[in-house]
Amino acid sequence: MTDPLAERLRTDAMNPLRRRFVGRDEVVDLIALAAVAGEHLFLYGPPGTAKSLLVRSFAAKVRCRYFEYLLTRFSEPSEIFGPIDLVKLREGSVTTVVTGMLPEAEFAFLDELFNANSAILNNLLTVLNERTYRRGVESHRLPLITAFAASNHLPEDDALQALFDRFLLRCSVQALPRELLPGLLAAGWAIEREGTSPDPQDGLTAEDLRELNRRVRDVNLEPVLEGYATAVSKVRDLGVSLTDRRAVKVLKLVAASAVARGDYRRAAYLLGVLLRELRGAANVLTTGGRYRDAALLFRDRLQDPLAAAAAFESAGEFDEAVRLYEKAGADVQAGDLLRRIGDESRAGERYRTAAAKLSGRHENLQAGELIAQKLGDLTDARTYYRLGWKSNRADAVPCARRLVDDYLLLGNTAAFDELFEEAAIRLRPPAHADAGRFFNHVLHNAAGLLPEDRVAALRDDVRRLFAEHVRTRGAGTIDPLFGGSPKVWPAGVRRDAAFAAKQGKPQATQANPKPLVAGTVRAVVYAKGGGVVFIATADEVVLWNLNLDTTTTVAHARNCKFVALATDRLGDTLYTLSDQSTQLRLTAFALRGLTPPIRTVASVDVDYESLESVYLQPRTFDDPAVSYLVLAVDGVRKRYHSHVLLAGSGSGFSDDVGSPHWIGEECGLLWDWSDGLLAGYRRLDRKGGQISSRVPRSLRPKP
């Protein structure tokens, strides 16, 4: 919904000036932005570029008290701030006559600012910073909304730099390019003929601008903070001086942009054009409901078809959204959109295409569930489950469990018996964890669907299979086999199995060790929740499934060498850190889900000086509201959010210690092992900011 006051600012002041001053839209926008934000604007450019006329024309569109003055080296303070009242001076008091002078102005324009002498400069510093004018014991609180200044040269000495710093907004106004000259000449001649516009009688007022300024404080800046922090870091990395004070002040401009336009387009302009943070700009546009503008930015500038498709969908441009989803290979999202708009036939095609792609990458469990959930086609779903069971990969046992449920519900005992016999052969030792999950599932679901004598026979067969595991592998197999299914195995059976394990001697198995990788191991990480280990050499990363005892290559180095690994608790996402000779590259790979199972999700390049100072936290912090990992490079720690690798400020830990060597979470505390100091931290919140604080005591080993 458009704000009426912001709409009046645009229609009464900004739009007329854009039409009148050809090629000066940016200057008009910044003048309005300064007025709404209550900040000061400096215009730099040669004479004859309409700097003064632009400010004067804007002030004429607003019912306000306006002061303008051309400064020279010989200008005196009384010419700007007002002369001394001679009558009162004879009475013994020093009083300034401020009528019609700058202390009474709501808009002030000082032309050729840097010609001012030191007496004027000293007073201007207080006026611009504190909105106060002092002369002796006399003090005036100024109604000044904003001050504009112009000059055809920049300050060179330190005395002028302090004054220049008070102007948060600065704009270069140069001569227009050749192609705009015809429009310039026509507009200029119109101004010469018609003269300046009369002051409005019922237009925008200074009080309206103050009301807009008050609304600036109510703008929610949460959507832009992350992107803005990244932009500030990039600006500083380029060697551009940007103080903390100015960085905070620019946030006020972002908020004022949203207020001035009645939407989020100007906030996006600041992030995208002025700060070159295009993704932050697109996110701001999305938050403000400017979906099509965001979609164009995602598609044309950021080359992000998925984000662009989602934005086009929100904008109601469904054909383009479907096209981009299909281009990105996001068949499920394309199918969902087609179903929402009523094209069920094309939606089914997209779902089946997605399932075929998943099966081609040996993710048959996800393929079958996709077909079952989206299309309700259990026949095709069984086909994918059978392929998954035959593949002997990580999802083999879950696929077999789906087949068990299907066969039992259909009453297909022949297929059920065949599957049971196959499992009895394939799930012999050492696959005790998978045997426990599969056969206990069979017994639990068969009860009530098969005759009691058939269930009893199945239980005897399973007991013999489990006994073989216990004899072969010992007491460590009892809990995976018997402990998790109290409804299937009574307590007495579990006690008998434990007793048998103590009495018997497990058969020693001698297997020839097989190499997991070829080459020198550079890094190893273990995802306990998923039962997988990632092993990196310089050239490749291998996934070792502990339950199935299988290995799969999941990443290859291309013109680089792997140096570190990280993962989440379940092993769903793998993070690799590779040495690209001149930079480090942190890459996130997705390994599961309805999207392609082994694919690059995001990557980010990081500068470094020495590999000895590099440390990647081996496991992410995973909470409902925040998931991130920490990378330490050259003594500086950086935090990257989730699998998108969005850089955040700080690492969540104190920076008074050096580079971390190990970070983990145990006993309700976060632990940071750094330069010989073991420090524990308590959680403060789970919102992704400073999430921890040092506990009162930390441990440092004795030398």
Per-residue pLDDT at 490 exceeds 50: yes
| Overall average pLDDT of the 200-213 stretch | 77
Count CB atoms within 10 A of the CB of residue 618.
Answer: 19
Same-domain check for residues 260 and 128: no
User: Looking at 183, 211, 239, which one is the last position of a domain?
Assistant: 211
Per-residue pLDDT at 687 exceeds 50: no
**Helix locations, 291-343, DSSP H:** 291-296, 305-314, 318-327, 331-340
133 in a structural domain: yes
| Overall average pLDDT of the 438-462 stretch | 82
Same-domain check for residues 199 and 247: no
Same-domain check for residues 422 and 529: no
Confidence of residue 67 (pLDDT cuts 50, 70, 90): very high
Exposed / middle / buried, residue 134 (Cβ in 10 Å: 0-12, 13-18, 19+): middle
For residue 299, give the 3-state DSSP assignment. helix
Residue 90: predicted pLDDT: 75
- CA–CA gap between residue 12 and residue 390 (Å, rounded): 73
Per-residue pLDDT at 128 exceeds 80: yes
Residue 690: predicted pLDDT: 42
Same-domain check for residues 190 and 227: no
Residue 653 sits in a domain of what CATH number? 2.130.10.10
Please answer whether residues 397 and 419 qualify as being in contact, where contact means their C-beta atoms are separated by less than 8 angstroms.
no
Same-domain check for residues 346 and 204: no
Same-domain check for residues 15 and 157: yes
Copy the structure tokens of residue 154: 């920049």
Same-domain check for residues 167 and 30: yes
Residue 169 sits in a domain of what CATH number? 3.40.50.300
Same-domain check for residues 538 and 486: no
User: Looking at 194, 211, 228, which one is the last position of a domain?
Assistant: 211
CA 510, 514, 518: angle at the middle one, nearest 5?
Answer: 160
Per-residue pLDDT at 407 exceeds 60: yes
257 in a structural domain: yes
User: Looking at 168, 185, 211, which one is the last position of a domain?
Assistant: 211
Overall number of domains in the chain: 4
94 in a structural domain: yes
Residue 120: predicted pLDDT: 85
Same-domain check for residues 157 and 114: yes
Count CB atoms within 10 A of the CB of residue 23.
Answer: 19
Same-domain check for residues 371 and 451: yes
Confidence of residue 498 (pLDDT cuts 50, 70, 90): low
Confidence of residue 440 (pLDDT cuts 50, 70, 90): confident
For residue 689, give the 3-state DSSP assignment. coil
Between the CA atoms of 257, 261, 265 and 269, what dihedral angle is there, to the nearest 10 degrees?
-40
Axis crossing angle, helix 344-360 with helix 331-340, rounded to the nearest 10: 160
Residue 438: predicted pLDDT: 81
For residue 648, give the 3-state DSSP assignment. strand
Residue 169: predicted pLDDT: 85
56 in a structural domain: yes
310 in a structural domain: no
Tell me the average pLDDT of the chain. Answer: 77
Residue 430 sits in a domain of what CATH number? 1.25.40
Range of 402's domain? 331-503
Axis crossing angle, helix 25-37 with helix 244-261, rounded to the nearest 10: 100
Give the list of residues 6+ apart from residue 521 with CB closer than 8 angstroms, or none. 535, 536, 537
- CA–CA gap between residue 14 and residue 176 (Å, rounded): 20
Give the list of residues 6+ apart from residue 184 with CB closer than 8 angstroms, or none. 22, 23, 176
Residue 480: predicted pLDDT: 55
Same-domain check for residues 528 and 484: no
324 in a structural domain: no
314 in a structural domain: no
**pLDDT over 90 for what percent of the chain?**
13
Question: Which pLDDT tens digit goes with each residue over 70-115?
Answer: 988 888 888 898 888 877 777 777 788 888 899 999 999 999 988 8
Question: Which pLDDT tens digit goes with each residue over 561-607?
Answer: 999 999 887 788 888 999 988 888 888 888 754 334 566 777 888 88
Per-residue pLDDT at 621 exceeds 90: no
| Overall average pLDDT of the 547-558 stretch | 81
Same-domain check for residues 198 and 248: no
309 in a structural domain: no
Residue 693: predicted pLDDT: 46
Which of 150-164, 337-351, 481-495, 625-639 is most confident? 337-351
Per-residue pLDDT at 351 exceeds 90: yes
